[in-house]
Amino acid sequence: MNAVKIKEDIFWVGVNDYQTTLFEGMWPIEQEGVSYNAYVINDEKVAIIDTVKSIKADEYIEKIKSIIGNKKVDYLIVNHMEPDHSSGIIELLAEYPDIKIVGNKKTFPIMNNFYQITENLHEVCEGDTLCLGKHTLQFFMTPMVHWPESMVTYDTIDKVLFSMDVFGSFKAPVGSIFDDENDLAAFEEPTRRYYACIVGKVAGQALKALNKLGGIEIGTICPSHGLIWRDNPKYILDMYVKMSSKVTDSGVVIAYGSMYGCTQKAAETLAIALKNEGVGEVKLYNVAKTDISFIISDIWKYKGLFLGAPSYYGQIFPKMANLLYKLSEIKVDNHKVGFFADYSWSGGADKNFSAFIECAKVDVIDEILMIKGTPDEQDVLALNTLAKEMAEAIK
C-alpha cells in the first residue's frame, strides 16, 4: 500500500509485516500478519509519529518522501519504545540527521539502551503541547500501556488521537486501513488476542489510560497496529473498555493436555455435559496443539474455565504449565474455574493446579477432580456434576 491520506495534512506511512512469524518472538502472526502504523503531519513543521520495525524501514521512508518530497523532517514523536515501533529510528536518522526526537523522561534512557541515541532530544510532560503551524499536538502519559514510557499524542485541531498500542490489534489490514472499509467482525478475535497477550497483564493501567482519554474529544483514532478508526471510534473504545474492565460473555473454555487420550476423554465428556447444561459457547482446546495465545484470547472472552491435565514425572503436563504461567500473569480472578487432573500412580498435576489456585487467587467451583487413568463411570458422573456446578456459577 502507498501512503494514505487521513486528514488534510495527516497521512499514514505505516507498513504491513508478513515476514515476522512470531510477534515479540512468541505470538504467532504468520497467518494474518501485523501492521506497524506510523504517521506524518505535513504542516509548516513536519512531524512524524513513530517509526516502524527496522526490517520495513525502507518502505516507510519511501512513503514519508512521497508526502513531504524534499522538505526536512522537524520532529519524530516517539510514543512508545518497543522496537516494533522504534527500531526504524536508525534508518530515519540516517535520512534526516537533524530531526528532533520528542519523548518523555522515561523514553530517552530506553532509547539509549537500544540505540545509543543521546542528542537532539526534546522532553515533554503530561499535557505539554507542541505547535507545528496549523496543528498543535498535546501529549498524555499512559504508563505501562504497554511500557513505562508509553504516551499518546493528540492533534487538537483535527481531534485525532495517535494512540500507540492502545486500540491496536493483530491482523494487517488489506486494501484499506480504515474501519468503514473493513469487515470489523474479522478483526474482533485478532484485537482480543492482541489485547489478552500484550496488554492483558496491565489491564488495570489500560483502564486508567482509557478513563484519562475519555476526557478528550476524539474524532479519529490512529493506533500503532490495526485499523484507523475514522468512522466509528466508539466501536474500538467500547471494546477496549469492556476488555480492560474484564467483562466476560457467557460460555466456557476447556483447555486440556492429554498424552494418551484419557484427559481428552474427560474434557470431551465435560464439553457435552456443559452443552447440555445450556452454558452457551463451549470452546475445547488441546494445549499441545493450539498456541496459548488463541486459548488466552477465548479465556479473556468467556466467564467459565476448565483446566485439565495429566501428571508428568510428578509434575503437571509441561504445556499446561506454560498456560498456567501466563494465566498467573494476566489473572483470571473474574472467572469461575474448575479443574481435573489425571494420573496413573503418584499424581502431580493436582499439586501444580493447587499452587496456581493459591497464587492466582482463582475462584474455584469445586475441588480438583482426580481421575485415575481412563475416566470410569464414577468419573463421568463427577464430570457431569462439575458441568452442573459451572452452569450454576456462571449464570
Q: Cα-flanking dihedrals φ and ψ of residue 359, to 5°?
A: -75, -35
- Cβ at position 108, least distance to ligand FEO in Å: 17
- Applying CB under 6 A, what is the total number of residues that bind ligand FEO? 8
Stretch that binds ligand FEO, among 77-85, 154-162, 325-333, 346-354 (CB under 6 A): 77-85
Q: Which three cell numbers, joined as nine digits, stand for 365?
A: 467451583
Q: Does 56 engage in binding with ligand FEO (CB under 6 A)?
A: no
Distance from C-alpha of 45 to C-alpha of 62, rounded to nearest angstrom: 19
Residue with smaller CB distance to ligand FEO, 42 or 224: 224
The residues, ordered by sequence, that sit 6+ positions from 330 with a Cβ below 8 Å of its Cβ are 196, 200, 201, 203, 296, 300
Q: Does 7 engage in binding with ligand FEO (CB under 6 A)?
A: no
Q: Does 379 engage in binding with ligand FEO (CB under 6 A)?
A: no
Q: Does 17 engage in binding with ligand FEO (CB under 6 A)?
A: no
Distance from C-alpha of 137 to C-alpha of 120, rounded to nearest angstrom: 19
Give residue number: closest CB to ligand FEO. 82
Stretch that binds ligand FEO, among 58-66, 79-87, 271-279, 330-338 (CB under 6 A): 79-87
- Spatial contact of 224 and 172, defined as CB atoms under 8 Å apart: no
Q: Which of 55, 249, 244 is nearest to 166 (CA)?
A: 244
Residue with smaller CB distance to ligand FEO, 43 or 165: 165
Residue with smaller CB distance to ligand FEO, 164 or 383: 164
Stretch that binds ligand FEO, among 82-90, 206-214, 334-342, 351-359 (CB under 6 A): 82-90
The residue type at 302: Y
The residues, ordered by sequence, that sit 6+ positions from 151 with a Cβ below 8 Å of its Cβ are 79, 80, 103, 104, 107, 124, 139, 140, 141, 142, 164
Residue with smaller CB distance to ligand FEO, 25 or 278: 25
Enumerate residues 173-232 that contact ligand FEO by CB under 6 A.
224-225
The residue type at 195: Y
Q: Does 149 engage in binding with ligand FEO (CB under 6 A)?
A: no
Among 63, 80, 135, 301, binds ligand FEO (CB under 6 A): 80
Distance from C-alpha of 125 to C-alpha of 113, rounded to nearest angstrom: 21
Q: Does 82 engage in binding with ligand FEO (CB under 6 A)?
A: yes
Q: Does 146 engage in binding with ligand FEO (CB under 6 A)?
A: yes
Please give the residue ranges that form the binding site for ligand FEO (CB under 6 A): 80, 82, 84-85, 146, 165, 224-225
